Amino acid sequence: MIFERIAPEQHDTLDGVPEPSETPRLVGHGQAATMLASAYRSGKLPHALIFVGPVGIGKATLAFHLAHHLLKHPASEQAPEVLAVPDPASSLFRQIATGAHPSVLHLTRPPNDKTKSFKTVVTVDEIRKVSRFLSLTSHDASYRVVIVDPADDMNTNAANALLKNLEEPPARTLFILIVHAPGSLLPTIRSRCQMVRLTPLDAESLMTVLESVEPPPPDDPASRAALAKRAGGSARTAILLTQYGGLEIAETLDALATARKSDVAGAYRLAEA
């Protein structure tokens, strides 16, 4: 099956790998997902959440799945006790994935027109979109969801602008901050959010993710175990190791580093790779 991207390209997009907004399956994080679904059903969902954990474990994917759940089930007391599984054929899924849904605002590093790439920070101009977004009346009285991804990348002005929005959030508004290192956030922002700690994926979950992209993970158990160990629970790292020959490069580097005699030819081959 050929993957067709419908989400806008981002600063960390990988070829042939779905963006979090267009990933229909959430791998791992079942306990956190159930906790969030239960909090919503009981009317106790906080107005601001921080999803914290290492890079590439599915924090943003969980954020978009939660947004989908809130919009699919606007009456919280009638919502199921588990997060709804998005249907890629549905208009709701496609609207969220393409960035066209009026109730979901995804803020990340914006394009840099001068360099034709992306800026290195989440700018204050991006955060200013929040006020405009929240000033619009929700089209069906449903939740409005703001996802800052990653919030680590906000500069000081952007962080202060976000803080103002967090201090007096409108009703039925949810902020989700994707954070790799919580120490990078202002303490005043952290104090206004409930932190949800997400753990690295286990080896089985990593292989499940890899089997949905090209090339698939190696077949033999030893190579799979080596790949899982090097990935450290990060699906993103596992994909990079698989797609770009990273596992072979890492093993060659280890061999060079532990060799008793310097291997100049091997070092040149590694540099070329």
What is the full DSSP assignment across 38-67?
HHHHTT---SEEEEE-STTSSHHHHHHHHH
- Residue 157 near residue 122 (C-beta atoms within 8 A): no
The per-residue pLDDT for 264 is: 75
Q: So what's the pLDDT on residue 215?
A: 84
pLDDT at 3: 82
> HSE (CB half, 13 Å, CA atoms) of 161?
18
Q: Tell me, what's the pLDDT at 168?
A: 87
**Does residue 165 contact residue 177 with C-beta atoms inside 8 Å?**
no
Residue among 219, 143, 180, 186 nearest 58 (CA): 180
Alpha-carbon span 124 to 152, nearest angstrom: 13
In sequence order, the 6+-apart residues with CB closer than 8 A to the CB of 158 are 121, 122, 123, 124, 126, 127
Q: Tell me if the bond preceding 20 is cis, omega within 30° of 0.
A: no
Supply the pLDDT for residue 265: 72
Provide the pLDDT for residue 216: 85
The answer to whether domain 20-197 has CATH 3.40.50.300 is yes
The predicted pLDDT at position 129 comes to 96
State the pTM of this model: 0.91
C-alpha of 167 from chain center: 24
- Average pLDDT of adjacent 10-residue blocks, the chain of 273 residues: 87 94 96 98 97 98 98 95 96 97 96 92 96 80 93 96 93 96 94 97 95 87 91 94 72 66 69 64
Nearest-angstrom CA–CA distance, 45 and 77: 12
Nearest one of 6, 49, 61 to 143, comparing CA atoms:
49
Residue 145 has phi, psi (to 5 degrees) of -120, 125
Domain boundaries, the chain: 20-197, 203-272
Single out the residue of 10, 129, 145 nearest to residue 69, CA to CA. 145
Q: What is the pLDDT of residue 139?
A: 62
Which H or E run contains 196? Answer: strand 194-197
Q: Are 155 and 122 in contact (CB under 8 A)?
A: yes
- What's residue 262's pLDDT? 73
